[in-house]
């Protein structure tokens, strides 16, 4: 799976990075950065947790 973000929906509080520390880094302002790389195994599990945890539904699986 590939993780993507809708930056217009993101509140920049960074909850997702706590759920997916190996997948999501935060920029200097606290907004998440995702690589767009294919994720498998534990990284895909982290990404799924981050999607579920996002209060703004700003994270999604890219096609
Ligand atoms: S949890 Fe959602 S709204 Fe919050 S920083 Fe991450 S992507 Fe943005």
Q: What is the 3-state secondary structure of the chain? A: CEEEECCCCCCCCCHHHHHCCCCEEECCCCCEEECCCECCHHHHHHHHHHHHHCCCCCEEEEC
Ligand 1 centroid–CA 56 distance in Å is 7
pLDDT tens-digit readout, 5-59 = 999 999 999 999 999 999 999 999 999 999 999 999 999 999 999 999 999 999 9
Question: In the prediction, which pLDDT does 63 show?
Answer: 75
Please check whether residue 12 is in contact with residue 31, taking contact to mean a CB–CB distance below 8 angstroms: yes
Fold that domain 2-62 belongs to in CATH: Alpha-Beta Plaits (3.30.70)
Residue ranges of domains in the chain: 2-62
Question: In the prediction, which pLDDT does 30 show?
Answer: 92
Q: From the CA of 24, give the closest atom in ligand 1.
A: 6
Q: From the CA of 19, give the closest atom in ligand 1.
A: 1
Q: Is the CB of 22 under 6 A from ligand 1?
A: no
């Amino acid at each position: 799976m590939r993780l993507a973000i809708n930056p217009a929906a993101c509140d920049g509080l960074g909850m997702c990075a706590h759920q997916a520390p190996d997948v999501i880094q935060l920029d200097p302002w606290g907004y998440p950065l995702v690589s767009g790389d294919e994720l498998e195994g534990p990284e895909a599990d982290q990404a799924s947790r981050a999607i579920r945890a996002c209060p703004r539904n700003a994270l999604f699986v890219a096609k």
